[in-house]
Amino acid sequence: MAAHVLRLRLALLWGGLRGAPSHTVRVVAGLVLLVLAIAGACAALLWTARTDVDTLLVVTVTGGAAITAAFAVAPVISGATDPVDPRRFAVFGPSPGALAGSTLLAGIVSVPILSVLALAICSGIVWTAAGAPWAVSAVAVVLGIATCVLLARIFLALTAMWLRGRPAELTGVFVIGLLVVVLPVGVFLSSLEWDGAVPVPLQAAVDVVAMTPLGAAWALPGLVAAGDPLVWASVAVAVATVAGLTLAWFAIVRRMLSRIERPVSARERGGLGWFAVTPGTPTGAIAARSLVYWLRDRRYIVNVLVIPVAAALTTVPLLIAGVPAPYVALVPVPIMAVFLGWLPHNDLAYDSTAVWLHVASGVRGSADRVGRLIPILVIGVPVLAICIPVAIAVNGSWSLAPALTGVCASLFLSALGLSSIASAATPYAVSRPGDSPFQQPQRSGASGVSGQAFVMIGALAVSVPALWWGWLTLTDDLWYGILTLAGGSAIGVVVLVLGVAIGAVVFDRRGSELMEFASAT
């Protein structure tokens, strides 16, 4: 079977060159450009053999980890189909184990894998010249390529099973998630000072990546050449990664052959936007409707855009007062965090009369509360994930990153939890749909002020421990940063869970009052 599947794979590759002359020209031109790019990368990699072991380790580990991660991310973002999908062989009644092994071997015969193989061989040559035994370099190449092949197989299969006919919104979510990872890394690298040696923060980051499934195999020869005692930990991680992914692949193939393929439903045919992305549950439906509001209603958009501007303006009086610029750089992001969590404190009022959908259909308060928080999480988490590294880069001390992350997590999550309560307990009139976001209606009473103050002051109050630990990190000992990260995250999660639970109870008990409020505003 393995030989038959390999012949099919080679035939598919050769078939890619057939077709109209214009298609053949484009494919050949793309292959030529790819070969030139791989040749240039191999030449640059071989040239690094002249550098020291630390620089070699940084290049191979970071590059290898990025390439390995790409084999998991690319199928999800591109929605590519597997040319040797195991389900295509189901009509022949093959053994799941034999088919899994055959398709795994066939996965090696692909343009991306062969390109990475060329780079991996060059990496092995470089490390052998740097003092690593050739056997160790060969084992590292095998483990690295095996990890890439397995990740590609697994994520192609998962994409085919669960993400068929996905809407463009889901691709956008994946791209945003990728930017959340790529942009902070880019900010981190651009902020380093290169004075002829590998910067200490980068070396520390590489040591961490070398102990992860993405970088363990690529770090193996470098750790041996440097005599690092962590080499055995790297070996264990790399071998365990390949073994675990292999078991996962065999299990996936068995499941694909034992389940009847589900026909494409109306939700998967497109046209439903966010409703085709979220689960078909009350929480998912509310989240989809809220996402449409947050991304299209100018009342929401203006509120989001004002936050970074307001946070940046707070730096002006601090600089005028003589506060050192590195300290001022840390101020805007916590302000953004608390205001992002504060935004949904009156989310229910923006529904206007549409809130009757939730009350009349008997939607549970927990579904309403959780669904309404999804959009701000989709917006707030990427914004904070990008702004925190930027603030740390301006400050210049990456050791403060855990503390700033902990403070922002506490403020953001706790404000979200309190907003879940205020949204159901103290809604107040806002501009109607279609009106200018700067047009505010007349209000009676102080319910609006009380709700806003409850969320803002409450989030600051429960985050006092995280703020204090963050201050100690800045002025006393950097080890407080770990306490700030763990403690701040714990505070935020606890307040968020309690806030959603209390808000759900309030929503259930005040259903008639909420409908009356929506009708009167």
pLDDT digits (tens, 9 = 90+) for 36-85: 888 888 888 788 777 777 778 888 888 889 899 888 888 877 766 777 77
Average pLDDT over residues 225-247: 88
**So what's the pLDDT on residue 79?**
65
Residue 241 domain-assigned (yes or no): yes
Answer yes or no: are the C-beta atoms of 337 and 384 closer than 8 Å.
yes
Do 304 and 392 belong to one domain? Answer: yes
d(CA 431, CA 440): 5
- The answer to whether 380 and 308 are in contact (CB under 8 A) is no
Residue for token pair 């590195």 = 326
Average pLDDT over residues 83-107: 80
**pLDDT, mean of residues 339-344:** 91
Round to whole Å and give the CA distance between 237 and 232.
9
Q: How confident is the model at residue 255 (pLDDT cuts 50, 70, 90)?
A: confident
Last residue within a domain, chosen from 248, 268, 288: 268
Are both 264 and 282 inside the same structural domain? Answer: no
More confident residue, 33 or 4: 33
pLDDT given at position 150? 93
Q: Which of 268, 302, 332 is the last residue of a domain?
A: 268
| Start-to-end C-alpha separation, the chain | 70
Beta-carbon contacts of residue 146 (< 8 Å; ≥ 6 apart): 242
Helix axes 231-258, 134-162, angle to 10 degrees: 30
Same domain, 47 and 190: yes
- The predicted pLDDT at position 420 comes to 92
Measured over the CA atoms of residue 88, residue 94, residue 95 and residue 98, the dihedral's sign is negative
The tokens for 393 are: 């880069």
Measure Cα distances from 120 to 32, 138, 221, 383, 393 in Å.
20, 9, 12, 36, 32
Segments forming the whole domain that contains residue 514: 278-520
- 10 and 67 part of one domain: yes
Residue 397 sits in the same domain as residue 516: yes
Separation in Å, CA 197 to CA 59, 435, 521:
13, 58, 65
For residues 87 and 60, membership in a common domain is answered with yes
Rounded CA gap, 220 and 230, in Å? 9
Taking a C-beta distance cutoff of 8 angstroms, is the pair 455, 373 a contact?
no
CA distance 517 to 430: 12
Tell me the C-alpha distance between 21 and 29, whole Å. 12
Q: How many domains does the chain have?
A: 2
What pTM was estimated for this model as a whole?
A: 0.70
Task: Provide mean pLDDT across the span 234-243.
Answer: 92
Does 263 share its domain with 288? Answer: no
* Structure confidence at residue 244 as a pLDDT band (50, 70, 90): very high
Q: Which long-range contacts (CB under 8 A, 24 or more apart) does 84-93 make?
A: 84/5, 84/8, 84/9, 84/12, 85/156, 85/157, 85/160, 86/157, 86/253, 86/256, 86/257, 87/160, 87/256, 87/257, 87/261, 89/5, 90/256, 90/257
Q: Per-residue pLDDT tens for 295-326?
A: 887 788 888 888 888 888 888 888 888 888 88
Torsion angle of alpha carbons 373, 378, 379, 384, nearest 10°? 100
Pair 404, 298 in one domain: yes
Residue 105 lies in a domain: yes
- Report the 10 Å Cβ neighbour count for 425: 18
User: Is the same domain home to 306 and 261?
Assistant: no
What is d(CA 414, CA 409) in angstroms, rounded to the nearest whole number?
8
Residue 481 to residue 460: CA distance in whole angstroms = 19
Which residues, 6 or more positions from 321, have their beta carbon under 8 angstroms from its beta carbon? none
pLDDT digits (tens, 9 = 90+) for 154-190: 988 888 777 665 555 566 666 666 666 666 666 666 6
485/419 same-domain check: yes
**Pair (173, 247) in one structural domain:** yes
Rounded distance, CA 107 to CA 471, Å?
A: 52
Q: Which of 21-25, 200-204, 454-458 has the highest mean pLDDT?
A: 454-458
Burial class (CB in 10 A: 0-12, 13-18, 19+), 268: middle
Q: What percent of the chain has pLDDT over 90?
A: 20
Confirm whether 273 is domain-assigned: no
Q: What are the helix and strand counts (H, E) for the chain?
A: 22, 0
Secondary structure class of 430 (helix, strand, coil): coil
Q: Within a 10 A sphere around the Cβ of 233, how many other Cβ atoms?
A: 14
Averaged pLDDT, 446-452: 68
206, 234, 268 — which closes off a domain? 268
343 secondary structure, DSSP code: G
Same domain, 238 and 372: no
The confidence score (pLDDT) of residue 413 equals 95
